[in-house]
Chains A and B, each alone.
Chain A
Amino acid sequence: MEGKNAISPDDLMLILLATAMGTLARYLTLKIDYRQYPTHPNGSLIHLVIAFIAAAIGAVAIPAIKSNNYTAVTFLAIAIQHFRDVRKTERESLKDLECTEFTPRGEAYIDGIAKTFESRNYFSLIVALSTAATIELVRYLGLALPFQTAIGIIVGYVVFIGIRRFSQGKTVGDIASVKLGVIEVRDSELYVDGVFVSNTIGTKNAQKMVQAEGLAVVIEPLKDHYRVTLDNFGQRKAMLFEATRSVGVKRYHYTRKDYESGKTIIVLVPLLQDAEKLINIVRHTPLLESVKKSHSVMKSNILGD
């Protein structure tokens, strides 16, 4: 590649830097995803490679427009189609794993995770695009290469922080108090804090096991209208999934709604007797996008606290 068709060193630097910024953006959010979808290292590698391609598409868009190659921008449309396929693939993959988990994630949780994975690719694309656009703009203003690089990185980082805060969802702990409940077995009936949970512990072994080893978590909404979100079947499945995955399940797991008080109760006989871990994980269960019905829950925190 020689002559006027060869890529200039400046453009090459722009593309490389913007691509690196976009890929880094995905890498930084991958740590958050780790809890939701812990396939490591191959799952992480797949997402990093897809992010690299997304970032590269965002990075080359500016030099392409600059060289009057407007059709190159159509790559962005192809990328979006590709990212939708990522969502579809994630959904199918998680659905296939449903029967291998302690309890199923549920359709709503899977949908939320798949959407998150799709949106994270846009992180890479947008960060790379904004970094490239900034470098080009600073170059147009006549500033030297170190300034172009520094300002490009700063703007890319600010954009990353902004969209990360925008897309960051709330958790159960934001709208409800989570505390341990007192388990009580009356014959073959199980109660937590006096609320009936189940009567499927007909054997003495089961009754003894639940009484001695069971852990119960009571989730109480901070405001009455948050019940709409917490009582949602998908949300409860998500909480139960996170609870069972964090401490394991030896035997028995239940969720129950108490319509009078608005409490949601989770009971299980865990493999690990770690009540604090259980409370923490339930508190940090994401509020699913599909069940957010309250405006105060939907608000994004772009500028931070």
Chain B
Amino acid sequence: MKQNSIIAAITLSHHKVPHSGEAFIIEASNEEEQYTLMQDIAKALKADVVKLSNGIFILIG
């Protein structure tokens, strides 16, 4: 059953995320890598993906 918690966030170098809680954060070097990483994790965890308006991808599972 869905728990709706944030599993991970895929950020870029200019994003500042001071506290991540239980979610882990991956910083990608560019947008292409960010998208690929997001897809890799989303597929593995069967997570839903939210793209924030500032470009951060959040994975929800």
Contact = CB atoms under 8 A, between A and B. Distances in A.
A206 to B, nearest CB: 7
Interface stretch (B15-23, B24-32, B43-51): B43-51
B38 interface: yes
Given A187-B51, A188-B50, A188-B51, A203 B1 contact: no
Contacts of B42: 203
A29 interface: no
A202 B1 contact: no
Contact of B60 (A188, A200, A252): A200
Interface of B: 1, 38-39, 42, 48-51, 57-58, 60
Most chain B CB within a 10 A radius of its CB, from A199, A201, A206: A199
Interface of A: 98-99, 104, 187-188, 199-203, 205-206, 252
B1 A104 contact: yes
Contacts of A205: 39
A201 B1 contact: no
A203 B39 contact: yes
B37 to A, nearest CB: 12
Contacts of A202: 38, 48-51, 57-58
Contacts of B49: 188, 200-203, 206
B1 A98 contact: yes
Contacts of B38: 202-203
Nearest to B57: A202
A270 to B, nearest CB: 17
Given A188-B51, A201-B49, 8 more contacts: A99-B1, A188-B49, A188-B50, A202-B38, A202-B57, A203-B39, A203-B49, A206-B49
A205 B38 CA distance: 12
A200 B49 CA distance: 5
Contacts of A201: 48-49
A148 to B, nearest CB: 56
Nearest to A187: B51
Contact of B48 (A99, A187, A200): A200
A206 B46 CA distance: 12
A248 B50 CA distance: 24
Contacts of B39: 203, 205
Nearest to A206: B49
A199 B50 contact: yes
A252 B42 CA distance: 13
B1 A200 contact: no
Contacts of B57: 202
Contacts of B58: 202
A202 B42 CA distance: 10
Nearest to A200: B48
Contacts of B48: 200-202, 206, 252
A185 to B, nearest CB: 12
Contacts of B60: 200
A272 to B, nearest CB: 21
A200 B48 CA distance: 5
Nearest to B58: A202
13 contacts: A98-B1, A99-B1, A187-B51, A188-B49, A200-B50, A201-B48, A201-B49, A202-B49, A202-B51, A203-B39, A203-B49, A205-B39, A206-B49
Nearest to B39: A203
